[in-house]
Amino acid sequence: MLGLRVAFVGAALFTLGALPASAQEAEGERLYVESCASCHGDDGTGTEYGPPIDDAGEAAADFQLRTGRMPLADVDEQTMRKPPAFTPEEIEALVAYVGSLGSGPPIPELDPAAGDLVEGQELFVNNCAACHGATANGGAAGVGALAPGLYQALPLDIAEATITGPGEMPVFDFEEQELNAIVRYIGYLQEQDDPGGADIGGIGPVPEGFVGWAVGMLSLGLICYLIGSKAKTTPEQRS
């Protein structure tokens, strides 16, 4: 009898990732009821405190949970990247359960190395740079929202956000090779050096040009002041 009990406890200690799909979804439902249902509703159809997520899909749930954007303490604040509130196994279970609620997009499969860097630059400039900045350093997205910088974003984060449109971000219908290209180009921005000197936060060429102009004018003014001050001194003061 004791042996059976020990075996039962040992089986219960398996990680959630080793559970069958049905058991994993059941664990995800338990976690969902505890941590998500108060805002998103018992069946994922939403409440006055949170939007419906019954058709959010696995990709949206995975993005929000892995990047720590959910759960949200204050429904009036913008979601921001922070450490996740759940373990990887708990996130897998929650993602499986949310995915079972409807027909949202699954977690995408990526191959950034197969993406074309030039195509990725063109797609990023035409679709992403207006909010995230030319150097992916972030910027204003309108309606008081800020588009985050992408230097901490993993390739999967970028792909999931692109196909699910979190917050103010629209949903993009990119083909597989286009998604690989964008992810590769953002990875290039994350890794490139700054051989021309200080990047001033990567705020872009126009504001960086203004900073360079201001520093140059201040330096020129200081030089003129010093020359003028020396010219006003008398011969006795110079000696």
What was the pLDDT predicted at 199?
A: 56
What was the pLDDT predicted at 225?
A: 79
Provide, rounded to the nearest whole percent, the portion of the chain with pLDDT above 90. 61
The mean pLDDT of 195-202, rounded to a whole number, is: 56
Least confident stretch, 14-23, 77-86, 204-213: 14-23
Task: Name the helix (H) or strand (E) containing 220.
Answer: helix 205-231
Q: What is the rounded CA–CA span in Å between residue 64 and residue 67?
A: 6
What was the pLDDT predicted at 120?
A: 97
β-pairing verdict for 139-142 and 145-147: antiparallel
What was the pLDDT predicted at 228?
A: 75
- CA geometry: angle 157, 74, 53, nearest 5 deg: 50
Q: What is the DSSP letter of 47?
A: B
For residue 139, the cross-strand partners are 147
Banded model confidence at residue 217, pLDDT cuts 50, 70, 90: confident
**Is the confidence at residue 142, as pLDDT, over 80?**
no
What was the pLDDT predicted at 230?
A: 66
**Is the confidence at residue 19, as pLDDT, over 60?**
no
Neighbour-count burial for 6-35, b at 16+ CB within 10 Å, e otherwise: eeeeeeeeeebeebeeeebbebbbebbeeb
**Is the confidence at residue 178, as pLDDT, over 90?**
yes
Least confident stretch, 81-85, 90-94, 126-130, 206-210: 206-210
Give residue-wise pLDDT tens across range 51-99: 999 999 999 999 999 999 999 888 778 889 999 999 999 999 999 999 9
**Cα(first)–Cα(last) distance of the chain, in Å?**
106
What was the pLDDT predicted at 75?
A: 78
E strands present in 3-128: none
Q: Which residue has the higher pLDDT, 25 or 226?
A: 25
Contacts of 84 (CB under 8 A, 6+ apart): 65, 66, 67, 68, 91
**Is the confidence at residue 9, as pLDDT, over 50?**
no
Banded model confidence at residue 201, pLDDT cuts 50, 70, 90: low
What was the pLDDT predicted at 3?
A: 37
Phi-psi region of 200 (alpha: psi -120 to 50; beta: other; left: phi over 0): left
Banded model confidence at residue 12, pLDDT cuts 50, 70, 90: very low
- Output the average pLDDT for the chain: 84
Q: What is the rounded CA–CA span in Å between residue 57 and residue 62?
A: 9
What was the pLDDT predicted at 8?
A: 32
Contacts of 169 (CB under 8 A, 6+ apart): 131, 141, 147, 161
